[in-house]
Chain A
């Protein structure tokens, strides 16, 4: 960890001003402190934003909820309104990390998590996230946990968040200090030739809150498959939110985790299913559609199983929520 100065911020505008000068925001620290200790993140200055007034969950006019960027994950998952109206979000959070980490980690920080790729974490391996243009050691290395959708020759890493998968399925919106809100599905970026650019935030910009649109009647589920029963990142996860009216799905949202550098919305599958009774055959077809664009290396594709796993999870999720 390199030496840095530590500044506790007292108000948002001064925090943003410090960050404009190159400081990095520190909130729960559950990812940043680790990355600094590994020498992956090397800020000269840290602005501790944990005391900024961004730690409330508030009702919005029109029935939505606003979750402050500094609300801890445990609080989100415990909040009665979230559990009643957006249970998929509580489920997703509770399926991630450990209670200790969730007590500390914030909603904003969860959004800003960086990938857990072992080559990204090793300063001596080729990684375009750390060293733009350096290539990607995972392409021909151990990539069993890596992405199958939206990948590039520069990067096959995945975004590790569970929470963001649920937020994507809920059509959440990210509020950023000093600019227009951004839909969560547009917040994270696919790697392309610039894997080091992970979100649409400009340097120094601050996420202030997440807006959940008014809850839709219907059912939802979050399913996650991992290598052990708990306390592990997803191999594949699915968040599905479905509104059924008179036996027809009038609104379908499907988001995948563990498959891409961002929470992945399966728009074509959603479209295919909307207006239908979600019968098995259509679900099967939609699950296939969702993974139609999946790509694995011709050789060295340790992650090839993820496409089939994702299809099966989508089917299970939809069969679970259609009744």
Chain B
């Protein structure tokens, strides 16, 4: 086995790890660090369930090798609860019923929190409307699939937090 050693900071906690070089950030979180809040839906960047914040930016953790995260700061759904933005989003999801089975939910929440930050930082979207319209929110969250179809509730939750 080709192994790698790395220091990884997850939710503010440092981990010294020795891993098979093939381990993805997603499997590292789920199988090695016991952080199972981040979900595996497709393992190929096509569903968004594995969304985490890598140095503050939302990424699909299934397509990132853990090896690439040496010295990076990872924030998962578990860590989000310690930020005000994260807690507010989690509460808004519950209040607006932006979840059903709950499996895509951590990815949706991470994505929504990062999306609002991106919007503040003037990252554009393909919709290109003025203001954070419903169409803007939908397009900016299109990378997170929900098979239960909680999209209306998620939109309402994001609207509530963005207000």
Contact = CB atoms under 8 A, between A and B. Distances in A.
Interface string B20-39: 11101000000000000000
A230 B137 CA distance: 12
A269 to B, nearest CB: 25
Nearest to A78: B123
B22 A50 contact: no
Given A26-B68, A100-B60, A37 B44 contact: yes
Contact of A78 (B21, B45, B65, B124): B124
A78 B118 CA distance: 10
Contact of B68 (A34, A48, A94, A229): A48
Given A5-B2, A37-B43, A50-B68, A100 B21 contact: no
B58 A100 contact: yes
Specify the main secondary structure of chain A where it touches its partner. mixed
Contacts of A100: 45, 48, 51, 58-60, 111, 143
B65 A103 contact: no
Nearest to A34: B44
A95 B126 CA distance: 6
Nearest to A121: B44
A305 interface: no
Interface string B102-121: 00000000010011001001
A33 B60 CA distance: 11
B4 A6 contact: yes
A284 interface: no
B142 interface: yes
A231 B142 CA distance: 6
Interface in A4-25: 4-6, 8
A37 B139 CA distance: 28
A37 B44 CA distance: 9
A33 B138 CA distance: 27
B156 to A, nearest CB: 19
Interface residues of A, number: 35
A4 B59 contact: no
A253 B116 CA distance: 36
B105 to A, nearest CB: 16
B107 to A, nearest CB: 9
Interface string B45-62: 100100100100111101
Query: Size band of the B side of the interface?
Result: 35 or more
A46 B66 CA distance: 13
A29 B65 contact: yes
A74 B64 contact: no
B124 A3 contact: no
Contacts of A91: 126
B42 to A, nearest CB: 10
Contact of B2 (A3, A34, A99): A3
Contact of A101 (B2, B54, B60, B124): B60
B125 A103 contact: no
A230 B126 contact: yes
Given A29-B68, A30-B60, A50-B68, A5 B124 contact: no
Contacts of B1: 3
A80 to B, nearest CB: 9
Given A26-B68, A98-B142, A33 B24 contact: yes
8 contacts: A3-B1, A4-B2, A4-B21, A48-B67, A74-B118, A94-B128, A103-B59, A229-B142
Given A104-B64, A230-B126, 18 more contacts: A4-B2, A5-B21, A6-B2, A6-B67, A29-B68, A30-B60, A48-B67, A77-B124, A94-B125, A98-B48, A99-B111, A99-B123, A99-B140, A99-B143, A229-B142, A230-B138, A230-B142, A231-B142
Lowest 10 CB-CB distances: which A-B pairs, in order? A98-B143, A230-B142, A94-B126, A6-B21, A34-B44, A103-B57, A5-B2, A6-B67, A231-B142, A1-B22
